[in-house]
A and B are shown apart, each in its own frame.
Chain A
Amino acid sequence: MRKAIAGSMESMDCMVSVFERPSGTGITLSIGGSGSELFHSAIVNTVNRTLSAFNIQDIEVHIQDCGALEPVLSARLETALLRYSVASDEREP
């Protein structure tokens, strides 16, 4: 399974993890941390916009938020997706 992470758990940052999903299974998104309540819709918007810009249909995204503003979240997600695009297929042993 391919996967990638970006970001940190420092204040005003976030940790984004992306995992491969079989074709046709769609997007799953889970959000935890400080912004998960008050900024839920805003985070979902950023994720959807970024994924469509990358033309990705099937992926699992997990965000652990530590108060990241929109540009920080989108930077971390883009970094994770760029790393994901070059990641090798790591089969679980």
Chain B
Amino acid sequence: MMYLPGNNPNMLLRGHLFRPDGLIFDLEDSVPANEKLAARILVGKILSFLDFGGCELTIRINGTDSDYWRDDITAIFDAAAANPQITGIRVPKVESPQEVVVLDEMLSELEDKSNIPPGHIRIFCLLESASAIWRAFDIATASSRVTALIPGGEDLAADLKTSRSKDEIELDWIRRMLVVAARAAGVDALDAAYPHIHDLEGLKTQTAFVRQLGFDGKSVLHPNQIPIIHEAYTPTDQEVRKALRIVQAAEEAERRGQGAVSVDGRLVDRPVIKRAQYLLQLAGPMHGRDTHDVPPDKG
């Protein structure tokens, strides 16, 4: 999901062309205080003007500790009434479950007024302090609207009384904990963006690492980062072929009423089948590779 600076018409109008899975219209960090009004109006106009293809649209509002967040949310509802692709808000610096409850109530009230189906606007929580990470599970379960947890970068490093290093070793444990909390709560774990936009090799390494930790996706700051992340999250031909064999065998076994499934001479159990189904789901909508391109299995 790619962040688009809320006061930059060029980026707002063209971001979707790079085919990220989602767009985040940012009203927070990329917009200086004297341009908050301008960005809110611009984002609103562009959201109701353009067709964003298959992109999921969310808006990063200003934190609930600021003067802007209520106006941000009101503006979003005007746009959301016109564009059903808007499905959520990304909330920075979420500190407590109570904050989520307050947001949930406001969203319910506005959905009711704007004739938007209840629960349509989901909440993506950015956890940017040690205490927020500590309460990640409680935050994730405070409302059924919460869809994902996302760790912060700079702010978290500062809160840990350290600085953000190139390999982000200081955020290692944060990431692991966040995945556990998200999985326990049944929400997605999305990783923070890689800040060095010209270092595509570094991005590749980090993305492979967070995918292995269990993250469902990664935020993006620059269009050039998108193909790298799609590539990293696209299963290899070998993985796809193996998953296909597992899923087909499982379906075949179910048709025959057999309990045990065997693939390549080895028994596979439930979690393995579930994992294979998830992998095929991932291989489908990802843009990294065509299913056409999977060469015939020769081995």
Residues of A within 8 A of B (CB): 6-7, 10-13, 68-72, 74-76, 78-79, 82-83
| Of A68, A82, A83, the contact of B9 (CB 8 Å cutoff) | A68
B41/A75 in contact, CB under 8 A: yes
State the Cβ distance, B17 to closest chain A Cβ, in Å: 13
Instruction: State the CA gap A6–B38 with chains docked (Å).
Output: 7
Q: Is the beta-carbon distance between B13 and A79 smaller than 8 angstroms?
A: no
Contact in complex: B38, A13 (CB < 8 Å) = no
Query: Of residues 12 to 44 in B, which have CB atoms within 8 Å of A's CB atoms?
Result: 13, 37-38, 41-42, 44
Given A70-B49, A71-B49, A79-B38, 17 more contacts at CB 8 Å? A11-B10, A12-B9, A12-B10, A12-B13, A13-B8, A13-B9, A13-B10, A68-B9, A69-B9, A69-B13, A71-B45, A71-B46, A71-B48, A72-B13, A72-B45, A74-B45, A75-B44
Chain A residues whose C-beta falls within 8 Å of the C-beta of B38 in the assembled complex: 6-7, 75-76, 79
Chain A residues whose CB sits within 8 angstroms of the CB of B46 once the complex forms: 71-72, 75
Q: Which 10 A-B pairs have the closest CB atoms?
A: A71-B45, A71-B49, A75-B42, A75-B45, A72-B9, A12-B10, A79-B38, A12-B9, A75-B41, A13-B9
Interface residues of B (CB under 8 A from A): 8-10, 13, 37-38, 41-42, 44-46, 48-49
- The chain A residue with its CB closest to the CB of B8 is A10
Specify which of B37, B42, B48 is in contact with A72 (CB 8 Å cutoff). B42
CA distance A68 to B42 in the complex (A): 12
* Bound: A11/B13 CA distance, A: 12
- Point out the residues of chain A lying under 8 angstroms from B45, CB to CB: 71-72, 74-75
Per the bound structure, the CA–CA distance linking A12 and B8 in Å amounts to: 9
**Minimum C-beta distance from A61 to chain B (A):** 17
Tell me the bound Cα distance from A71 to B13 in angstroms.
10
Contacts of B42 in A (CB 8 A): 71-72, 75-76, 79
